[in-house]
Structure 1
């Protein structure tokens, strides 16, 4: 007994370490959400702009080549999985839907700040707009792309969802760019949110919404959650480069916007038009109010 008491006795000259291990983590998260000084933002933007070379145009060309290579590699990967039947066609299409836009956004820090970097970045999805038009009109034949991006293998479907998808990313890059939470919310809710809504809804969508029997409660929850978490992740990612300020106001804005996007996506009219059209429009309209 004496040995046990002696083992648990704190030496008189020592200070017990009774701090909660979560305290430091909580402080770090709160510190992350504090506004970033403008001087630091300008300094970090300048350093990122010269990521490859001191010549900004050459640097943007290199960034464009690398970003295009990433997007093309992902597209070819999903084309092969569709061709080999590794995934169900609907699941494969949603994996394309989720990954392409988000992977491209991960490449945005490689471009220079300002309008030039935005235009160079927008050229990459703009090329895909031309491709969707040519294939959707039957001018260009590519069965692998059609199979990986359409519901029923009809090339004319490319003139709807896939075309809206590429247009959204192009406009988000050219108009709003990486300094705007609206760009983040539009792409994240369209890619991660709408993509996860379909995947979860098909597998766990037993309970349907009272106003739309084609949509489920779990699917809508998955959309709001995935869109919000993806937006939050990109906010932290871009703030680490100094592109934007991470704040609780922005977090709340993302939460409101993702909930609104999920509500619009669940409406029957959204299915008739196209989720790739209604979700980004909702992000722009609601984002203009909350940000």
Structure 2
């Protein structure tokens, strides 16, 4: 092949020379070491199939591992929930604790322990559905006993006010439905579900306990509620919410800007407290009004303070 111009490396080259020079790169071959075969995937459909099969196998193994983890976590949480209810049932039967106090302690602890157990589930997209199986099974249990299809005096005494089976179809049923909603819709990567459950379990639960014991001073617009109960709901709802948000943030599920977060939690706690104190005449259960009010305020507030 003829060359119009030969350029020696390191020698000065004029602009005119560069404009007319054609440089050819010839015989630039990279040879493979001897005895090492070279594969061309375009010419090796067998290799392509093997690689795809290996990738599918690794994906299936990973999915199977996540399912085993989630199944184990579900069994563990379900066993813990059953043990919690059984423990307070036995304490009530032995007259070691009042039925009203037992009911509220189950109300507080079962939801918060369920919330605190979310991190033991896997990072798969199906983890939230495994977690929701725990309150779903309790939901079916409440329906069965609330409709008197079966009897369980221990369950009725542990979670109802007056010990009537049909009460299971009101407050307790709404309670587990909210647990299911927060697990599926918000899960652990959203502070909205966390703060809603914290207010329903911690704030509302403490309000009833304190109000019954120290609630002699009633609210002027609702004689069924007391200043002690409302103040305790605000304080404990605020503290439990902040504690749970910190718990999930240090585990890396979300990052919060804490100055704005404290203000937002205080606002949510205040609104939830006001909603809980309103005279509804039995038309709206606290297990619906408190978490829904918390969800609405948290939804609009957390979007403005920054979450990552």
TM-score, structure 1 as length reference: 0.79
Aligned pair 1:247/2:257, yes or no? Answer: yes
1:163, 1:131 → 2: CA distance?
Answer: 10
1:153, 1:72 → 2: CA distance?
Answer: 19
* From 154, 177, 199, the counterpart of 2:187: 177
Match of 2:299 in 1: 288
1:136, 1:228 → 2: CA distance?
Answer: 33
1:114, 1:233 → 2: CA distance?
Answer: 25
Q: How many residues align?
A: 239
1:270, 1:119 → 2: CA distance?
Answer: 35
Match of 2:76 in 1: 66
Q: Secondary structure at the match of 1:206?
A: coil
Can you list the C-alpha shifts for 1:34-65, whole angstroms capped at 9, x where unaligned?
xxxxxxxxxxxxxxxxxxx9811111111111
- Which structure would you say has the larger Rg? 2
1:246, 1:236 → 2: CA distance?
Answer: 9
Match of 1:195 in 2: 205
Per-residue deviation at 1:114?
4.9
* From 99, 111, 119, the counterpart of 2:121: 111
Can you list the C-alpha shifts for 1:227-278, whole angstroms capped at 9, x where unaligned?
1111111111111210111322222221111111010000011744211111
* From 176, 179, 184, the counterpart of 1:166: 176
1:131, 1:118 → 2: CA distance?
Answer: 20
1:145, 1:54 → 2: CA distance?
Answer: 35
* Runs ≥4 residues deviating over 3 A: none
Can you list the C-alpha shifts for 1:208-228, whole angstroms capped at 9, x where unaligned?
111001101110010111111
1:145, 1:85 → 2: CA distance?
Answer: 16
Match of 1:216 in 2: 226
Higher helix share: 1
Aligned pair 1:127/2:134, yes or no? Answer: no
1:80-99 to structure 2, matched below 5 A, reads 80-99=90-109
Q: Is the 8 A contact 2:195 2:245 kept in 1?
A: no
Per-residue deviation at 1:134?
0.8
Cα RMSD (Å): 1.5
Match of 1:258 in 2: 269
1:140, 1:175 → 2: CA distance?
Answer: 31
- Bigger relative contact order (CA 8 A; separation at least 6): 1
Q: Secondary structure at the match of 1:239?
A: helix
Match of 1:278 in 2: 289
Q: Is the 8 A contact 1:70 1:104 kept in 2?
A: no
Q: Is the 8 A contact 1:129 1:163 kept in 2?
A: yes
Q: Secondary structure at the match of 1:151?
A: coil
Can you list the C-alpha shifts for 1:73-125, whole angstroms capped at 9, x where unaligned?
11111111122221111111101111100011111100123531111111111
Match of 2:164 in 1: 154
2:250, 2:195 → 1: CA distance?
Answer: 18
1:179, 1:200 → 2: CA distance?
Answer: 32
Consecutive unaligned residues of structure 2, counting only runs of 5 or more, are: 1-62, 303-308
